Amino acid sequence: MNARESATRILEAVDESGRHYRDSLPMIASENVLSPLVRKACDSDLHGRYAEGLPGKRYYQGCEDFDTIEEIGIESAKRVFDCSFANIQSTSGTVSNMAGLKALAEPGDTITAVSTADGGHISHARMGAVGVRGLNLITYPWIESRMEPDIDAAAALIRETEPSLALFGQSVFLFPTPLQELADAAHEVGARVMYDAAHVLGLIAGGQFQDPLREGADLMTGSSHKTFPGPQGGFLLSDSDDAKFMRKINSSVFPGVCSTYHLHHVAGKAVALAEFEAFGPDYAKDTVANAKALGAALAAEGFDVMAEERDYTASHQVLTRHGDPDSGTGRDAAALLEEAGIITNMNMLPGDTKAMAPSGLRLGVPELTRLGMGVDEMQDVAGFFASVLIAGDDPAKVKQDVSEFKSGFLEVGYCFEPGPAYPGL
């Protein structure tokens, strides 16, 4: 394959990936699709430009127009997240966490967080940003049936270990964190509190989950491309009135963990913020309603859906267990579902210790909701799951049914100019 053939094959694979998702049910909880206006901002000359620094205080010339973009985006973020400080430069949720850890903890400090086995994100672990920063990690006691930290035991742990930073938030995130009680314990021992809202940021902004900045979080980080439906990127948000603290957060992003920060994505975030101001509350409400309906429908089909005693979920996610811990049954279920045109991910659940052979699936509805599916369609989706994983129907036949079903949901909504979710295909 010569150089030209390589380029051609790459572009063919790009189109093939788009068709794959167009004809499937995309249910990875961390994924979403772009609105036409956000896509336009991202596919612009800004993709190759630099703007180190803050608006009006750049290291390069030629940034006047980008200053306008970033200033509008910051003010919009303050309104959307009801906060006094917003940094919209971060290139991802993990980079946001790296910046937060840089600002709030020194190498060798002790921090507390949710373990990856209980749903914590890899950036909260020694294998990720916590290890990169050289921090000593202690994880919270966990209540599996409620899928949340044990409030009393976690508060006692914080008081006993006196961490520099108490980190909350998860990658597997079904219910609001009991933040107020735990933040109080952290502040008693002089710890800062950081809340990673990567998965649930849009639900928080839409008033459908919890309000971390009013419940004790000194800093909230998040992704801009999950339940907040924008381009790849991140946020750092605070309601602090401490100018020194805000300067420290800004400098932890640049020059701390970013040089340039993907100007085209910042522009896309700014457009997505404007659209969220107009449509976000409805989108967040419909996303949670769909997740609740999906959990109940899967349980009715006979699946083992986690957190039954709490009606399965209060977020965009649903968890299902498909066998014994470390049996690989979650991995096998995900592979079989993809043959049927349903794109999910295997996931560790409490009791699992092998990341590549877990027993669970993590299911998300942000993209399905953005495409116009509602609670009635969640019954259909659960039926497709049951056909493959319970009835044992031919995945190829189910895939045809899924593709036909999906053909009625190919337009992005909750935006100023609805349009194709998978353009050019």
- Under the banding of pLDDT at 50, 70 and 90, the label for residue 92 is very high
User: Using one digit for the tens of pLDDT, what is the confidence trace for 358-378?
Assistant: 999 999 999 999 999 999 999
Residue 145 φ/ψ region, left for φ over 0, alpha for ψ in the -120 to 50 degree band, beta for the rest: alpha
- The three-state DSSP-derived secondary structure of 38-52 is HHHHHCCHHHHCCCC
**Strands, sheet with 192-196, edge to edge from the N-terminal-most edge strand:** 85-87, 229-238, 219-225, 192-196, 165-168, 110-113, 136-139
- Under the banding of pLDDT at 50, 70 and 90, the label for residue 44 is very high
Side-chain-side CA neighbours of 357 within 13 Å: the count stands at 7
Residue ranges of domains in the chain, CATH in brackets: 26-35+278-418 (3.90.1150.10), 38-275 (3.40.640.10)
Q: Find the mean pLDDT for residues 109-132.
A: 93
For the cut 80, the answer to whether the pLDDT of residue 326 exceeds it is: yes
pLDDT at 260: 87
For residue 345, which of 325, 371, 322, 377 has the smallest C-alpha distance? 322
For the cut 80, the answer to whether the pLDDT of residue 425 exceeds it is: no
- Under the banding of pLDDT at 50, 70 and 90, the label for residue 350 is confident
The pTM of the full predicted model, rounded to 2 decimals, is: 0.97
Site of tokens 């009606």:
311
pLDDT at 139: 97
- Under the banding of pLDDT at 50, 70 and 90, the label for residue 335 is very high
Indicate the residue type of 305: V
Query: Within 10 Å of residue 144's Cβ, how many Cβ atoms?
Result: 12
- Under the banding of pLDDT at 50, 70 and 90, the label for residue 117 is confident
pLDDT at 374: 98
pLDDT at 196: 98
